[in-house]
Amino acid sequence: MFYSVITAKLDSEGVVFAQVNTDAGSPWFAGHFPGDPILPGIAQLNMVTECIERVLHRKLILQNLARIKFKQLIRPGDVLDIRAVVGKKENNYTFTIKNNDKEVCSGRLVLVPLKEQ
């Protein structure tokens, strides 16, 4: 895994909170980019999806995404705060990833349970 989960929880209002640490030894960093490693966007979206799956205790599949914004670079060893909120539409999650209180990525994911495929 390219990150380790420090904490992951679901609050009483259905908001997912997670804190993760990016693994400097991850192949994502080795290949993207040599000498100037950053975490690719697809890895960031996967990390958010897996954190939501972890607290909901079910396998989810990415069906759609919207308004994804990558605002800052994520480097090896960064500690990230993830927050995801269930939207008004079923299976919609609005999320943010922050590093040191600065937003690095945000957007909306449509994640459906595996059996609905």
Task: Give the whole-angstrom CA distance, residue 31 versus residue 40.
Answer: 10
Structure tokens at 4: 């380790």
Catalytic site positions: 32
Higher local confidence (pLDDT), 6 or 89: 6
- Residue 114 has what pLDDT? 86
- Residue 116 has what pLDDT? 53
Q: What residues contact 42, with CB distance under 8 A and at least 6 apart?
A: none
Range of the domain at 94: 3-116
pLDDT tens figures, 55-112: 999 999 999 999 999 999 999 999 999 999 998 888 999 999 999 999 999 999 999 9
Q: Write the CATH number for 88.
A: 3.10.129.10
Number of structural domains, the chain?
Answer: 1
Between CA 112 and CA 31, with CA 69 as vertex, the angle to 5 degrees is 90
Task: Give the whole-angstrom CA distance, residue 75 versus residue 105.
Answer: 13
What does pTM read for this prediction?
Answer: 0.93
> In terms of DSSP H, where are the helices of 15-110?
27-31, 41-56
